[in-house]
Amino acid sequence: MRKAEDETAGVLRDEVHYDGRRMLCYAERPASLTAMFEGLVARYPDRPAVVEDDAITYAELDRLTRVIGANLTTLGVAPGDRVALYLGNAWEFLAVLFACIRIGAIVVPIGTRQRHAELEFMLNDSGAKILVHEADLAEFIPAPAEIPGLAHRFSIRAPAPLARPFDDLLEEGGACPAHQPREEDVAIILYTSGTTGRPKGAQLTHLGIIHSALAFARTFGLTEKDRGYVAVPLSHVTGLVGVSMAAMIAGGAVVLMRQAFKAPDFLAQAAREKITFTIVVPAIYALCAMSPALEEHDLSAWRIGSFGGAPMPAPTIEALAKKLPRLNLVNAYGATETTSPATIMPVPLWRENIDSVGRVVHCGVIRIVDDEGRDVPAGAAGEIWIAGPMVVPGYWNRPDANANEFTDGFWKSGDIGSRDEQGFVRVFDRKKDMINRGGFKIFSAEVESVIAGIPGVIECAIVGKPDPVLTERVCAIVVVEEGVVVQPEDVRDWCAARVSDYKTPEFVTVRTEPLPRNANGKILKPLLRQQL
């Protein structure tokens, strides 16, 4: 057992999990999500746990989970059975989640942007026995003959064909069994949404979720007074683990943004609920910085603005620093397979390292390797491999993917990045998205970061356009704020003054339409390449 170098980590110890993976773990941690929740109810019964239109206390959420758990058990749901949630950001999502954890069932969140064929695959692949869904999404659910394993459906907010009302799960009745899970038991199956091939169900365990939640909570210094704002889907690992579980493990509240994102609504709710931390994409911060509504609200409680997936535009940093001086913009990097964070920027160091995604989480290990799997020197680029208790043990029903994507406990991210001598990690590109222009390798993240600094730019994407001579040419798709005029030559001139000539985009498209994204919010670069 040893004390970590970072005092926020506490004591770490060596442990062995998942049939032989040796890893560092937090010595002091809840034994499971069940133990975590029961501890919260005992310590903070009257504090708000979930806030949507109204606040639900930990004691009330405990009561709801017991009732729902008892009714699910009556329907035949046993430990290990799967319960699918096709829901937006609603209190029912978290109530059913903790009910399933209490009885040992596995939760399968499905994003509300998924449609018929995707639902059919996920429900059948996971073997879901129960589906709880939004009433207005009923039209996208496959017919019973297409999902024969599904025994019961429940709809929230309104009646729906073939579904019982969710209120049936809230009827007081039998006792809720007390299942005691092991740390390595699967609690959640989250389907990745790759741009090619079938989705893969990442198996999130109690061990991984607890460690990820603690990594965020300890790095951000969260307490029972914090309020995490879920403005990304609960069906995504960021909303579910990065914000919700991180807030709860500290005894804080989870504030849900139910409606589609609009900057004025986001800012109004953030001020009204006195939110203290968020994790969203940089484009949301950019839209907030540009919104006149930013001046209209008291956001002084907001101290942590974490982000990932893209560079933070310099004008956004400057605008938020001026208007919200207490807000720390903290980069993080991770994936579904890492149960959210693999790296987090230490809060005191963010201003000097804004181009970095931070340092590896307390219990994690990162290797930067070449194509032969050999470690590269500090500062050199290579593929990022990640290990630690937050890394999932594998995918549901996918031995082929497990064999291809995991080596000696490390998950092969497919991302190209580097780590400097101070331990700061930088992510340059997806391995498959790296551009080859006449033998020069171009990392799209570098050029995207430069373009993000143009005033009025919300987001951008760099992709390669096939070329018979140079292999690929650099193309930029730039999204600007409504009413802002940015010409293609402005983008080229801006880049020419800041990056090498071969990295400067030769083709530039400027638009106000957002970039296309998949159900998990990732930019669909293959679609952009097809459009070119």
* R_g (Cα) of the chain, nearest Å: 23
- Strand partners of residue 509: 477
Residue position matching structure tokens 């190209």: 416
Whether 22 contacts 14, CB under 8 Å: yes
The pLDDT of residue 4 is: 62
- Strand partners of residue 83: 107, 130
The pLDDT of residue 310 is: 76
Whether 456 contacts 481, CB under 8 Å: yes
Three-class secondary structure of residue 444 per DSSP:
helix
Q: What digits encode the pLDDT tens for the residues 184-242?
A: 999 999 998 654 568 899 999 999 999 999 999 999 999 999 999 999 999 999 999 99
Query: What CA–CA distance (Å, rounded) separates 35 from 499?
Result: 52
Query: What CA–CA distance (Å, rounded) separates 478 from 283?
Result: 12
- Least Cα distance to 330 among 303, 302, 360, 306 occurs for 306
**Rounded alpha-carbon distances, angstroms, from residue 376 to 42, 95, 165, 381, 419:** 49, 46, 57, 7, 10
Three-class secondary structure of residue 401 per DSSP:
helix
Q: At 422, which amino acid appears?
A: Q
Q: What digits encode the pLDDT tens for the residues 330-388?
A: 999 999 999 999 999 999 999 999 889 999 999 999 999 999 999 999 999 999 999 99
Q: What digits encode the pLDDT tens for the residues 130-183?
A: 999 999 999 999 999 999 999 999 999 999 999 999 999 999 988 999 899 999
- Strand partners of residue 410: 407
Q: What digits encode the pLDDT tens for the residues 433-446?
A: 889 998 888 999 88
Q: What domains, with CATH codes, occur in the chain?
A: 2-425 (3.40.50.12780), 434-531 (3.30.300.30)
Which of 122-126, 468-472, 478-482, 489-493 bottoms out in mean pLDDT, i.e. has the lowest?
468-472
* Ramachandran area for residue 247 (φ above 0: left; ψ -120 to 50: alpha; else beta): alpha
pTM, entire model? 0.91
The pLDDT of residue 195 is: 47
Q: At 448, which amino acid appears?
A: E
Whether 474 contacts 435, CB under 8 Å: yes
The pLDDT of residue 188 is: 98
Whether 29 contacts 250, CB under 8 Å: no
Whether 389 contacts 362, CB under 8 Å: no
Token pair listed for 417: 């990045």
- Strand partners of residue 429: 416
- Residue 49: CB atoms within 10 Å: 29
Give the pLDDT band of residue 7 (cuts 50, 70, 90).
Answer: low
Give the pLDDT band of residue 520 (cuts 50, 70, 90).
Answer: low
Token pair listed for 289: 């910085």
Residues for the chain: how many in total? Answer: 532
The H-or-E segment that residue 471 falls in is strand 471-480
* 253-256 vs 48-51, strand pairing mode: parallel
- Strand partners of residue 360: 343
Whether 69 contacts 34, CB under 8 Å: no
